[in-house]
A and B are shown apart, each in its own frame.
Chain A
Amino acid sequence: MSDNPRSESVVSVRDLWRTYRRPRTSLFGPRPEVHALRGVSFDVARGSRFGIVGESGSGKSTLVRLLAGLDRPSAGEISFDGRRIDTLPERRLGFLRSRLQVVFQDPMGSLDPRMRVRDIISEPLGRQPGRFERVRELLEAVDLPADAGRRYPHQFSGGQRQRISIARALAPRPGVLVADEPVSALDVLVRAQILDLLADLVERYALTMVFVSHDLAVVRHVCDTVAVMRQGEIVEQGPVRDVYGEPRHPYTRELIAAAPSLSAALSGPEEG
């Protein structure tokens, strides 16, 4: 690869906009527009754990799709390892696919109910020979029994399904893992286990992680850097210690004041 492997930031986002057009509400006049992202900029340093926190509707999911090259920005730039990805057609994003992977939110919806677990996990590898060998390694890495590969997703609990999802994301040996609300659909005990697993894997495989969540306590627990999003904009970003210790933006202060402590978040109920 021609990229500079020593560059400080793996993912670099500059002035990113994404505008959705709604269907016409009247025959005349323009179609209404929704600005999901309004000029977002940030850099994810190699080896860091970058948290993106915001309420639902703040543009987090849109951002995840753009980072993974699953959608195109309306304006702005996204670079991965110094290479622009927002201008490439999907079939030329092969380099990105093997180096950046996503763990999705819904542990049921992100696994095809009609596929066996080994086919799900090996999917990013295509028809590569030796892919089932790799599946065996991955099942072990995420603490699932070796015979899990022959079974179907509905035979597993929510936490186990999220382990399957994580194993799939790790299959092509990515350097960057984007986790989109990976624990918000899980119950409390399982949530802590999955967070621990993610932390372990990030450590073991020297991953860079982009962790998206609406939950400040979880982000504080997992990440070293954080960006706070509100209505499509980043209102504040910096090291977790600084942002949580001395929040500068009123919205951040409000969020932190409203959030329960980590122990409360890990034991209390929560809305999706």
Chain B
Amino acid sequence: MARTVNLVAGAVLVGLVVLVALVSFAWTPHDPLLVDASLRLSGPTAEYVLGTDRFGRDVASQLMVGARTTLYVGVVAVGIAALAGTPLGIVAGMRGGWLDELIMRVNDLVLAFPALLLAIMLGAVYGASTLTAMVAIGVATVPSFARVARAGTLQVMSTEYVLAARAGGRSRAWIAGRHVLPNISGLVLVQSSVSFAIAVLAEAALSFLGFGTAPPTPSWGRMLQESQELLAVEPRLALIPGAAIALAVLGFNLLGDGLRDRFDPRLEVRR
């Protein structure tokens, strides 16, 4: 069926990135940090499949280790966003009234603040690092989780099974844990996948600007940054990490879409 194509394609791409990152812990074709002036800007050869950069480092090895950085940043950023945003959204949706207003207006404020600017500010204050990038991306992503969780919560709270739980004398905490959370988990998962794609992109952008992962740790964004001076001479160095970023982002987006189809509540009823 057409709707499973997204899911499968997304899962394959994401799986590939994860696999590469995992393999890089145990094995890379070469030391990604080894500088060898005699091998500068070598094109693809049998030994250096993707060639070398201007310091003679192996591009394939850097790409593999860079996948780690990408996933690490994505997991932490999305983790921060989901762990903070989902409970906020549930509280806003369940309590309503002034608390809902307060949470959602603060949410709007954060949403209006550009994530990159936040990262650059954090980087300026605490020194640019992978950590500041992750925290900035995470904080900036909290609102999207809060919104999704709130919308889902409102929907769950209007169902008869929540009425039945209240008529059965169950507390708000019980309803939040037993009914709301399990029923919005699909939505949160979809949001995680989509946010992951955005986080990958943001990390690349930050590293490219020099506010993300610091040298010498390989990162796709930094590989792009280092390639810019040589763009006319050696476009390969920009195209390779660019393609990796594009594929990873595509993978997480497809996975998100696929999961959305899978968790569509309208399909659930007819299952």
Query: A residues within 8 Å of B by Cβ?
Result: 65, 68-70, 90-91, 93-94, 97-98, 101-102, 104-106, 108-115, 119-120, 123-124, 126, 154, 165, 168, 171-172
Determine if B170 and A123 form an interchain contact, defined as CB atoms under 8 angstroms apart.
Answer: yes
In the complex, per-residue mask of B151-187: 1 if CB is within 8 Å of any chain A CB, else 0 = 0000000011101111111110010001100110000
Most B CB within 10 A of own CB, among A65, A90, A91, A109:
A109
The answer to whether the Cβ of B271 comes within 8 Å of any Cβ in the partner chain is yes
Known: A113-B183, A114-B182. A97 touches B167 (CB 8 A): yes
CB-CB under 8 A from B269, the residues of chain A are 108, 154
CB-CB under 8 A from B168, the residues of chain A are 97, 101, 123-124, 168, 171-172
CB-CB under 8 A from B268, the residues of chain A are 113, 154
CB-CB under 8 A from B169, the residues of chain A are 93-94, 97-98, 124, 126, 172
Q: From residue 213 to 271 of chain B, which have CB atoms closer than 8 A to chain A?
A: 268-269, 271
A109, A115, A171: which contacts B159 (Cβ < 8 A)?
Answer: A109
Q: How many B residues touch the partner, as a band?
A: 20 to 34
Determine if A101 and B167 form an interchain contact, defined as CB atoms under 8 angstroms apart.
Answer: yes
Determine if B164 and A90 form an interchain contact, defined as CB atoms under 8 angstroms apart.
Answer: no
Query: What's the minimum C-beta distance from A218 to chain B, rounded to whole angstroms?
Result: 20
Question: Given the complex of chains A and B, what is the CA–CA distance between A172 and B166 in angstroms?
Answer: 13
Query: What's the minimum C-beta distance from A134 to chain B, rounded to whole angstroms?
Result: 13
Most A CB within 10 A of own CB, among B160, B161, B167:
B167
B167, B183, B271: which contacts A70 (Cβ < 8 A)?
Answer: B167
Determine if B161 and A126 form an interchain contact, defined as CB atoms under 8 angstroms apart.
Answer: no
Query: What's the minimum C-beta distance from B96 to chain A, rounded to whole angstroms?
Result: 14
Known: A109-B160, A110-B160, A115-B178. A102 touches B183 (CB 8 A): no
Closest 7 CB pairs of A and B: A124-B168, A97-B169, A110-B160, A104-B160, A114-B182, A112-B161, A109-B160
Q: From residue 116 to 170 of chain B, which have CB atoms closer than 8 A to chain A?
A: 159-161, 163-170
Closest residue on chain A to residue B161 by CB atoms: A112
11 A-B residue pairings within 8 Å (CB atoms): A70-B163, A94-B169, A97-B167, A104-B163, A110-B164, A112-B183, A114-B182, A115-B178, A154-B271, A165-B164, A172-B169
